[in-house]
Chains A and B, each alone.
Chain A
Amino acid sequence: MAKKRKFKKGVIIKLFILLVIFVAIIFGVVFVIKKIGNMKFKEYTKTLNYMDTVIDIKLYSNNEKEANTIISEIEKIYKYYHELTDRYNAYEGINNVYTINHTSDITKMEINHDLYNILDYSINWYYKSNGLFNINIGKLTDLWKVYRDNQTGIPTNDELYRLSGLDIKHIVLYDDNKILTGNVNLDLGGIAKGYATEVVHYYLKSIGFERYLINAGGTVLAGINSDGGKYRVGLQDPDNASAILKDENKEIKLNVSNAIVTSSGGYERFYEYNGVRYHHIINPNTKMPANNMKSVTVITDNAMLGDALSTTLFLMSIEDGQKFIENFDNVEAIWYTNDNKVIKSDGIKKYE
């Protein structure tokens, strides 16, 4: 047997000090690596084609499986709302806007809860916007679309005033799941994309996913970027498809995170006739395309609100719009006037 020996006091203290130093070093290194690890999120993108627009999805994740699942979930949502709000095609198994518009019998048609909610939300907006935001003007947009596609002339006064049944009161909803058909022609162009995007927004929030940027043609849903910071969003010049809107020769770049930026404007969907520009957004009161401005952009925290609000602001005069947005919290706006001036609400500074 060997002789017994106790630990020397000095050794234990030395060991302890060493341990503390090493743990401190490791803490430091781990902190640095966490920062670097943040930067190593991989980008996952997908481009979709729904609701007459291109939807760009960009996610940052360090988990490929998670990213692919989220992308396919997002695609499902857009596809679902695309089918629900499609004016030109019917789909098996659901009553959508097409079936509602193409049923001339006056009957109570059953619709699903999601479509019901969109209609309900839109009708509320009709009253909020004093009749400017109207989803029952399908006949009117169809008429203008014929002229826009041919790029010749404009509808005659006779044609415009023969259109009837544009009143929002013709949309009658029952029991949380029925609509009265026969007298309605819906056009959800001013709300469908925003509504679907808000559903996506809700989905992303519910699973706690943060690093995303979704551009659904006119509606940008921004989370945080791969560094945890803000995205830079440019606004397209309505007069030039490959240029960015400038304010006093400086390109407008909005720095946003966890926000929704929505634009309404002529962009590519307008035509000129006799020197006058005719947009695709029609004012239900005058039955003429709005031409108060070239475009309007709003920053909000809700995509449904953003879409409805930007459509409404586009139909209002800029002065009315400036007053109108004061009714909402956390809403800022940028107007681009017909004489190429940029007008911003006060809070836009935060994003520049």
Chain B
Amino acid sequence: MNKSDLKLIIVIILIAIIILFMVAIFNNNSNKKALIYYDNDLVLTIDLTEKEKKEYFVDGYNGVVKIITEDGKIKVDEEESPLHLCSKQGFIDKTYETIVCLPNKIVIKIVSSKTNDLDTILR
């Protein structure tokens, strides 16, 4: 083994460490998203990392469902249903929380690559 071999080994180790660091940093982005399902199909994905207030409209079974996101949280603002259960629920922001509009067949879930406190919630 000569000097240039040793240099090669050191360079390789450095490159490997840099890649590992980059992967670690990349994985640290919380990457929070809201997934909106209509009747078992994913119809819309909303990035929740933005702080600004935004409005979205999704077609539900009974009509248009208005969804608002703000500050990493999401809620159903207006919808057509007998009891308005899902618009009464208000904002959710945790991955184990779900908004369910059964009359409109709309389900909103939050996913995030960050590890969470709870994996699921029993209702």
Contacts and interface: CB of A to CB of B under 8 A. Distances in A.
Interface in B68-118: 82, 85, 89-90, 92, 96-98, 100, 102, 105, 107, 109, 111, 117-118
Given A47-B40, A149-B82, A54 B122 contact: no
A277 B34 CA distance: 34
B107 A213 contact: no
Contacts of B122: 215, 218, 220, 233-236, 261-263, 297
A268 interface: yes
Interface residues of B, number: 25
A241 B86 CA distance: 10
Chain A interface residue number, banded: 20 to 34
- Identify which of A54, A75, A261 gathers the most chain B CB atoms within 10 Å of its CB: A54
Contacts, number: 74
A231 B120 contact: yes
A263 B40 contact: no
Interface in B25-74: 35, 37, 39-40
Nearest to B117: A232
Contact of B118 (A75, A217, A233, A268): A233
Contacts of B123: 217-218, 236, 241, 263, 267-268
Interface string A142-170: 00000001000000000000000000000
Contacts of B96: 234
B5 interface: no
A235 B97 CA distance: 12
12 contacts: A48-B40, A49-B39, A49-B102, A54-B100, A75-B40, A220-B122, A225-B119, A231-B119, A233-B122, A235-B122, A253-B117, A268-B85
Interface of B: 35, 37, 39-40, 82, 85, 89-90, 92, 96-98, 100, 102, 105, 107, 109, 111, 117-123
Interface of A: 45, 47-49, 52, 54, 56, 58, 75, 149, 213, 215, 217-218, 220, 225, 231-236, 241-242, 244, 253, 261-263, 267-268, 297
